[in-house]
Amino acid sequence: MRKRIGHTEIEVNDEGYLIDFSQWTKEIGECIADENGICLTDRHWEVINYIHEKFQKDEPLSIRGIKKSGVINIKEFYQLFPGGPLKKATMIAGIPKPKSCI
């Protein structure tokens, strides 16, 4: 599925997750956040940067990882990305949502 953001066209899956991370830009992140009713602050960006670091190292994301990251505590993580914080944060960061095998 193609989607237009500003002047760029990106590819997303049925749920709105980017298919190719190389298409991600800060602007795209802001637009996706906006659609989810989230206005990105510096705190949000710190979390997104941490998510990108984990993604580039091929390490799975988890609530435990967030807790141990030193970047943010869980209560604040829920406040920043209400209603499924890992799901929303990964969508804004342009990476796949955490999955199981089926």
Q: Which residues bind other proteins (CB under 8 A)?
A: 13-14, 19-20, 58-60, 62-65, 68, 74-75, 77-78, 82-84, 86-87, 97-102
- In angstroms, the CA 60 to CA 43 distance is 21
Strand partners, 3: 10
- In angstroms, the CA 87 to CA 96 distance is 9
- CB of residue 102 to other proteins, shortest distance in Å: 4
* Dihedral of alpha carbons 56, 60, 62, 64, sign: negative
- CB of residue 57 to other proteins, shortest distance in Å: 9
- CB of residue 56 to other proteins, shortest distance in Å: 14
Closest CA to 39 of 50, 52, 30: 30
101 is an active site residue: yes
Q: Do 91 and 28 form a contact (C-beta atoms < 8 A)?
A: no
Would you say 7 or 100 has its CB closer to other proteins?
100
Would you say 52 or 87 has its CB closer to other proteins?
87
Active-site pick, 83, 99, 100, 101: 101
Enumerate the active-site residues.
Answer: 101
